[in-house]
Amino acid sequence: MRGLMQEWPLLCHKIMDHAALYHGDREVISRSIEGPMHRTNYRNIHERARQVAKRLEKDGITMGDRVATMAWNTWRHLEAWYGILGMGAVYHTLNPRLFPDQIAWIMNDATDKLLFVDLTFLPIIEAIADKVPSLAKVVVLTDAAHMPQTKLANAVAYEYWINEADADYAWREFDEGTAAGMCYTSGTTGDPKGVVYSHRSNVLHAMTGAQPDMLNLSSNDRMMPVVPLFHANGWSTAFVCPMVGASMIMPGAGMDGASIYQILTEERVTMTAAVPTVWLMLLEHLAKVGGSLPDLQRVVIGGAACPPAMIKTFQETYGVEVIHAWGMTEMSPLGTVCTLKPEYKNLTGQARLDLQAKQGHPPFTVEMKVTDDENNPLPWDAKSFGRLKVRGPAVSSAYYKGHGAEQFDAENWFDTGDVAHVDEHGYMQITDRAKDVIKSGGEWISTIELENLAVGHPEVAEAAVIGIAHPKWDERPLLVIVRRQGCDPSKESILDFIRDDIAKWWLPDDVAFVDDIPHTATGKIQKTTLRKQFSDYKFPGT
């Protein structure tokens, strides 16, 4: 017997219909690339997105075509996304921080036909356009007055281009399984792999993400996604915010501590989200200028492990609740969120901070298990760690063109490449990437745990731990430190600081000081480069 309810395809552009109708006046505020602040609302975004859709069709874009964007978070980027979605094309976000050759490779793999690009990134595209034969048009996200000279023959200013179409356009209706967007993994080893979101997966994922025990977002929030739309599906903020009618504050290209602080306070942001490196810059700026964050209630921190010291500073110094979250490009991206269930609600002090260092519990729609190498599930005892696997309606079932098939098994479990343990209440904690974990004398050492402890030292700005070959133990940990400005901590003081919190054999065999720790295009510590940097290193006495 079939249910007798309506077929109502879950299409992303219906989110913007809803926002325009019921939250039409809600502001979308951006720091424009040209400089001044720009203010619009969901009603206008909805109108201009339909202009984009109609104009794309005039350019010969049809259903399923890939339309790339290389842009900061601004209202124009949002309009472009919804225009692309509403006519059945596929948004493809490009990360400008990748090497130009890698960007060209990705654009060719996806066969992008048209590109929306910010002024900031035009030089990158000028340098690689010849290598991307499928690219027929480049729309520069600015107005005619700010349009620069460019050697690209097929470039046009967005405001001029969009006004060649009116908003008299009915969104297309199609099957909810249709591709909506693409985002490539950062590819620290091998070529990047294409993740393809569907309309259904994006809509379900946004409904999941908004829930009270997840991001708890509502129409009363003023949400600032500092995380760029080109990182892991923009953490779904372009869908969750209009779905619940939250205002969006878009930071544009201003990613430094001072710019973030200015926009947080002037626009009275209540909630924001980004990777730890962004918050490191903000906290340093706040300490320098003696700032405060009276409007900000919650900060989502993910993309890399959030050190407990950062959680403590946000909560105890600035009164801002930290929501530690874990996810992946392949998961749309939300996997777990560390909000407090009743079992943990009453924790205080250090016990609460320790809990918040965990990546948290999954929402309905994310299935999760931790297994040993033979795929046997491990107990939920907060210490047995193994491979973290996931499945669900917003988790990839394959990569574009079938690459990386070995990460998916016959029962649809996707091997995340992360190593984790789970506690009795289902809170997951990442201990490492599988390729970063240190194998010492047949046992595993968590590099993340050591890093989290080391950055708690008052004179340490950043810490990374890598495994170095050892004649007796296979590998031993080396702690790499960036000192805080004006500080000169000794090796012993750092080791003494972490000694009491770990098993004796976890203590790093040495400490090395560097000026910088390399980061990936999405703000994670780049351990492959760091390992290369220390490839000739030998522990004292070995």
- Residues designated catalytic: 185, 330, 439, 444
- If binding is defined by CB under 6 A, does position 418 make contact with ligand AMP? yes
The CA radius of gyration of the chain, in Å to the nearest whole number, is 23
Nearer to ligand AMP, 131 or 433 (CB): 433
Least Cβ distance, residue 333 to ligand AMP (angstroms): 6
| Range 460-519, binding ligand AMP (CB under 6 A) | none
Strands of the sheet containing 66-70, edge to edge, are 155-157, 137-140, 112-117, 66-70, 90-93, 179-184, 194-198
Q: Which of 333, 362, 363, 386 binds ligand AMP (CB under 6 A)?
A: 333
Nearer to ligand AMP, 83 or 360 (CB): 360
Q: Which of 32, 247, 272, 329 binds ligand AMP (CB under 6 A)?
A: 329
Nearer to ligand AMP, 150 or 188 (CB): 188
Q: Please list the alpha-helical segments (H only) found in 290-387.
A: 308-312, 318, 349-356
By beta carbon distance, the residue nearest ligand AMP is 329
Least Cβ distance, residue 29 to ligand AMP (angstroms): 26
Which one of 30-38, 328-336, 398-406, 507-515 is the stretch in contact with ligand AMP (CB under 6 A)?
328-336
Which one of 5-13, 202-210, 287-295, 322-330 is the stretch in contact with ligand AMP (CB under 6 A)?
322-330
- If binding is defined by CB under 6 A, does position 232 make contact with ligand AMP? yes
**Other CB atoms within 10 A of residue 298 CB:** 19
Contact 329, 188 (CB under 8 A): no
- If binding is defined by CB under 6 A, does position 522 make contact with ligand AMP? yes
Contact 94, 105 (CB under 8 A): no
Site for ligand AMP (CB under 6 A): how many residues? 22
Q: Which of 428, 403, 73 is nearest to 252 (CA)?
A: 73
The reply to whether omega before 133 is within 30° of 0 (cis) is no
Nearer to ligand AMP, 30 or 186 (CB): 186
Least Cβ distance, residue 522 to ligand AMP (angstroms): 4
For residue 315, what are its two tokens? 């909560």
| Range 350-389, binding ligand AMP (CB under 6 A) | 359
For residue 193, what are its two tokens? 């792999």
Positive or negative CA dihedral for 459, 463, 467, 469?
negative
- If binding is defined by CB under 6 A, does position 328 make contact with ligand AMP? yes
User: By rule CB under 6 A, what string of x and - marks binding of each residue 167-196 to ligand AMP?
Assistant: ------------------xx----------
- SS3 track for 183-242: EECCCCCCCCCEEEEEHHHHHHHHHHHHCCCCCCCCCCCEEEECCCCCCHHHHHHHHHHH
User: By rule CB under 6 A, what string of x and - marks binding of each residue 282-321 to ligand AMP?
Assistant: --------------------xxxxx---------------
Beta-carbon contacts of residue 447 (< 8 Å; ≥ 6 apart): 432, 436, 437, 438, 464, 465, 466, 467, 477, 527
Place of tokens 């953490």: 235
- If binding is defined by CB under 6 A, does position 416 make contact with ligand AMP? yes
Q: Which of 138, 430, 463, 481 binds ligand AMP (CB under 6 A)?
A: 430
Task: Give CA torsion, residues 331, 337, 342, 348, to 10 deg.
Answer: 160
Q: Parallel, antiparallel, or unpaired for β 298-301 and 271-274?
A: parallel
Least Cβ distance, residue 3 to ligand AMP (angstroms): 36
Least Cβ distance, residue 82 to ligand AMP (angstroms): 23
- If binding is defined by CB under 6 A, does position 43 make contact with ligand AMP? no
Paired residues of 469 in beta bridges: 475
**Other CB atoms within 10 A of residue 269 CB:** 24
- If binding is defined by CB under 6 A, does position 394 make contact with ligand AMP? no
What is the binding site for ligand AMP (CB under 6 A)? 185-186, 232, 302-306, 324-329, 333, 359, 416-418, 430, 433, 522
